[in-house]
Amino acid sequence: MKITRMEIRKLKLPLQRSFAMSFGEMNRKETVIVSLHTADGLTGYGESSSFSAPMYTHETNDTCMYIQEHFIAPRLVGREFDTVEEFCSAYRSVVGNRMARTGTECAFWHLLAQRDAVSLKHLVGGTRSTIPVGESIGIKQTMAETLEEIEQRLDEGYVRIKVKIAPDWDTQLLAAIRERWPGIDLTADANAAYQFTQHHKTLEALDAFNLSMLEQPFGADDMIEHAKLQAKLKTSICLDESIESLADIKTADALSAGRIVNIKPGRVGGLVESIKIHNYAVAHHLGVMCGGTFETGIGRAFNIALASLPGFIYPADMSPYQLYFAEDIVEPSYTVKLDGHIDVPDTPGLGFAVREDLIEQFTTQKVVVR
Ligand SMILES: [Mg+2]
């Protein structure tokens, strides 16, 4: 397939409500949508679901667009690629910048799925037709508000509840949840808000709440601290921000820094690296879950395909768009069934129709490389 044009757009999407995490509050969501256009008339879409500020990883929407325009697109446009390996090797000189690479790589997977008339699930080697999903509850003003939202999500069928925690928003919250729902699948995500020396006693005490996992208590680089805590904790640590590559999961495994990995294609640089991490984790008896970074329906389509691989035994963070966005840019978007599962599309291509009119409407900045 010959790439004749790459378009990079920043979209600003209206949110239904804000979402707070230990590192900040999000009131609007900007994202970067990449499209690759071929000489045969195909269009492949991908998403770099970075944020406006470098709060989750070092990247922002603007750095993604800059890297894509100046360092990735010039290595792709005018060239022909038949496999994802050939495609990725064209810009292998671009190190880091994993979100920028993800949006680009996913657009090529979408082209491949169209060329071969197969589903993304088929392309990545997925085996499941449905995946269980859980909901992630942000940090709220009050306990009552949090409990109310949990109740609502459980009524809607979600099979796992994840709460965002931070120092001073942890023990009391988890105790209140456990008192009301002693048996639910409950996890806590700290988004790197704790420090070992200061907080390890508090974190060790979280064992009392029978969490199915404690996600990323310490900073992304604090692999040793995670290993020290995991050695003392019955609860499994799930590494999120710490795992950006296959090399990172190998390090984590060698140090016993955690027992579960949260794979987000955006954080690790695309589906190729995600599949490598998944395969390593399965071979080394580590648990795998699929997360996300508030992707629109375009980015989610790739996350859903990935989560259909057999190692993803924990419920995915995969809320329907209505929980956050006023409108999605695919149609129909997916829904969570009452049994807490979503269907994995098995039709050729993305599995969802792209609303190009809405992409146009939400675009605030556009770059075309031809
Ligand atoms: Mg997380």
Residue 349 lies in a domain: no
pLDDT at 335: 86
pLDDT at 101 over 90: yes
Backbone angles phi, psi at 198, to 5 degrees: -75, -35
Q: For residue 199, what is the enclosing H or E element? A: helix 196-205
Task: Answer yes or no: do 245 and 273 share one domain.
Answer: yes
Ligand 1 centroid–CA 156 distance in Å is 22
Task: Answer yes or no: do 220 and 157 share one domain.
Answer: yes
Query: Which of 140, 162, 164, 366 is the catalytic position?
Result: 164
Residue 351 lies in a domain: no
How many angstroms separate the CA atoms of 83 and 85, rounded? 5
Residue 146 lies in a domain: yes
pLDDT at 211: 98
How many angstroms separate the CA atoms of 83 and 112, rounded? 8
Task: Answer yes or no: do 282 and 197 share one domain.
Answer: yes
Residue 350 lies in a domain: no
**CATH number of the domain residue 176 falls in:** 3.20.20.120
Q: 94 vs 23, which has greater pLDDT?
A: 94
Ligand 1 centroid–CA 191 distance in Å is 5
pLDDT band at 76 (very low <50, low <70, confident <90, very high): very high
Task: Answer yes or no: do 186 and 271 share one domain.
Answer: yes
Residue 338 lies in a domain: yes
Task: Answer yes or no: do 33 and 173 share one domain.
Answer: no
Task: Answer yes or no: do 101 and 151 share one domain.
Answer: no
pLDDT band at 321 (very low <50, low <70, confident <90, very high): confident
Ligand 1 centroid–CA 194 distance in Å is 13
**CATH number of the domain residue 107 falls in:** 3.30.390.10
What mean pLDDT comes out for the span 347-367?
97
Let me know if 164 is a catalytic residue.
Answer: yes
Task: Answer yes or no: do 133 and 37 share one domain.
Answer: no
For the record, the structure tokens of 58 come out as: 């070092």
At which residue do the structure tokens 């006693």 appear? 201
Ligand 1 centroid–CA 359 distance in Å is 28
344-354 confidence digits (pLDDT tens):
999 999 999 99
What mean pLDDT comes out for the span 28-52?
95
Of the candidates 108, 103, 121, the residue with the CA atom closest to the CA atom of residue 46: 103
Residue 348 lies in a domain: no
Q: Dihedral of CA 156/158/161/163: which sign?
A: negative
For the record, the structure tokens of 50 come out as: 């970075």
Task: Answer yes or no: do 92 and 30 share one domain.
Answer: yes
Q: What is the mean pLDDT of the chain?
A: 95
Task: Answer yes or no: do 153 and 286 share one domain.
Answer: yes
Chain Cα centroid distance, residue 198: 29
pLDDT band at 5 (very low <50, low <70, confident <90, very high): very high
Task: Answer yes or no: do 282 and 211 share one domain.
Answer: yes
Ligand 1 centroid–CA 66 distance in Å is 26
pLDDT at 303: 97
Domain residue limits at 140:
122-343
Residue 171 lies in a domain: yes
C-alpha dist (Å) from residue 61 to 35, 117, 346, 367: 15, 31, 31, 13
Phi-psi region of 274 (alpha: psi -120 to 50; beta: other; left: phi over 0): alpha
Domain total of the chain = 2
Ligand 1 centroid–CA 40 distance in Å is 40
Q: In the chain, which ranges are E strands?
A: 3-13, 19-21, 24-26, 29-38, 43-48, 130-137, 160-164, 186-189, 213-215, 237-239, 260-263, 287-290, 316-317, 330-331, 341-343, 353-354, 363-369
pLDDT at 27: 74
**Alpha-carbon dihedral angle through residues 356, 350, 75, 102, given to the nearest 10 degrees:** 100
Task: Answer yes or no: do 152 and 283 share one domain.
Answer: yes
Residues β-bridged to residue 278: none
Ligand 1 centroid–CA 353 distance in Å is 29
Residue 95 lies in a domain: yes
- For residue 309, give the 3-state DSSP assignment: coil
pLDDT band at 55 (very low <50, low <70, confident <90, very high): confident
Residue 267 CB partners (closer than 8 Å, separation 6+): 56, 57, 98, 99, 240, 241, 243, 244, 293
Phi-psi region of 62 (alpha: psi -120 to 50; beta: other; left: phi over 0): alpha
Query: Which of 228, 250, 264, 276 is the catalytic position?
Result: 264
Task: Answer yes or no: do 165 and 222 share one domain.
Answer: yes
pLDDT band at 21 (very low <50, low <70, confident <90, very high): confident
Of the candidates 142, 132, 145, 128, the residue with the CA atom closest to the CA atom of residue 308: 128
What mean pLDDT comes out for the span 251-261?
98
Let me know if 366 is a catalytic residue.
Answer: no
Angle, CA of 340, 342 and 344, to the nearest 5°: 155
201-243 confidence digits (pLDDT tens):
999 999 999 999 999 999 999 999 999 999 999 999 999 999 9
For the record, the structure tokens of 3 come out as: 């790439």
pLDDT at 338: 85
137-166 confidence digits (pLDDT tens):
989 989 999 999 999 999 988 889 999 999
Both ends of the chain: CA-CA distance in Å? 15
- Identify whether the C-beta of residue 300 lies closer than 8 Å to the C-beta of residue 292: yes
Q: For residue 89, what is the enclosing H or E element? A: helix 84-89
Ligand 1 centroid–CA 216 distance in Å is 6
